């Protein structure tokens, strides 16, 4: 199958799919603000991760059709690989400590860190969507340097927060 012969309709369907998955995932995460709805948070992170994986697939496909090298593809997708790692670790925390979170046996700081992490993820998605509207993205199918670096900066902050959250959940939970 020649990758240059893919219909523009197929690409627009994939774009609609990952936009929809990310939108639904973010809505699910926003709906859990102020509540201990662990299942909804797990669903939100899972749907969001599916959307990000679909983004990676679509971008890799577009870049391979433009004859980008494997190194170029990996570097362009690096912010998304970090985001997948962040979502995976968030899922790990929520699944591992599901009972403690549901019962409210958590450190008081858990809610604030969790919300801050979600806000950083939302900011990353806003950066992605604004970067994809630029003319340079439409030509190269890769994010511009500024958008990539800002996403990576937010991701580093998010990684620090999640490590702190994981340590807090493991060592500083309450018994009720």
- Lowest-pLDDT range of 27-41, 78-92, 109-123, 162-176: 27-41
Higher pLDDT pick, 114 / 14: 114
Three-state secondary structure call for residue 85: helix
Which pTM value belongs to this model? 0.82
**Residue 94 Ramachandran class (φ > 0 left, ψ -120 to 50 alpha, else beta):** alpha
Between these two residues, 159 and 109, which has the higher pLDDT value? 159
Residue 96's CB: how many other CB atoms inside 10 A? Answer: 13
> Residue 90 — pLDDT band, cuts 50, 70, 90?
very high
- How far apart are the C-alpha atoms of 47 and 39, rounded to whole Å? 12
Residue 158 confidence (pLDDT): 95
CA separation for the pair 172, 176 (Å, rounded): 12
Residue 1 pLDDT: 44
Q: How many CB atoms lie within 10 A of CB 31?
A: 13
**Residue 4 DSSP symbol:** G
- Model pLDDT, residue 8: 60
| 176 has a pLDDT exceeding 90 | no
At 107 the pLDDT is 82
State the average pLDDT over residues 147-158: 92
What is the band of 67 on the pLDDT scale with cuts at 50, 70, 90? Answer: low
Kindly report, residue by residue over 19-56, the tens digit of the pLDDT.
788 778 878 777 766 565 788 888 888 888 888 888 88
Residue 5 to residues 62, 72, 145: CA-CA distances in angstroms? 11, 22, 29
Distance CA 52, CA 71 (A): 20
pLDDT tens per residue across span 127-152 = 888 888 888 877 777 788 888 899 99
Residues of the chain with pLDDT > 90, as a percent, come to: 18
């Amino acid at each position: 199958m020649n990758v240059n012969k893919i219909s523009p309709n197929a690409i627009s369907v994939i774009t609609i799919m990952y936009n929809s998955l990310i939108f639904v995932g973010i809505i699910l995460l926003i709906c859990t603000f102020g509540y201990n709805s662990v299942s909804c948070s797990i669903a939100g992170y899972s749907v969001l991760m599916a959307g990000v994986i679909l983004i990676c697939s679509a971008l890799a496909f577009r870049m391979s059709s433009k004859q980008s090298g494997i190194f170029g593809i990996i570097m362009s997708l690096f912010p998304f690989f970090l985001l997948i790692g962040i979502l995976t670790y968030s899922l790990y925390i929520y699944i591992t400590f599901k009972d403690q979170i549901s019962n409210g046996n958590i450190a008081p700081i858990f809610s604030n860190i969790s919300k801050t992490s979600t806000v950083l993820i939302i900011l990353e998605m806003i950066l992605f969507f604004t970067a994809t509207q630029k003319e340079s993205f439409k030509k190269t199918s890769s994010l511009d340097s500024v958008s990539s670096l800002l996403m990576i900066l937010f991701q580093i902050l998010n990684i620090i927060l999640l490590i702190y959250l994981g340590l807090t959940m493991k060592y500083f939970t309450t018994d009720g």
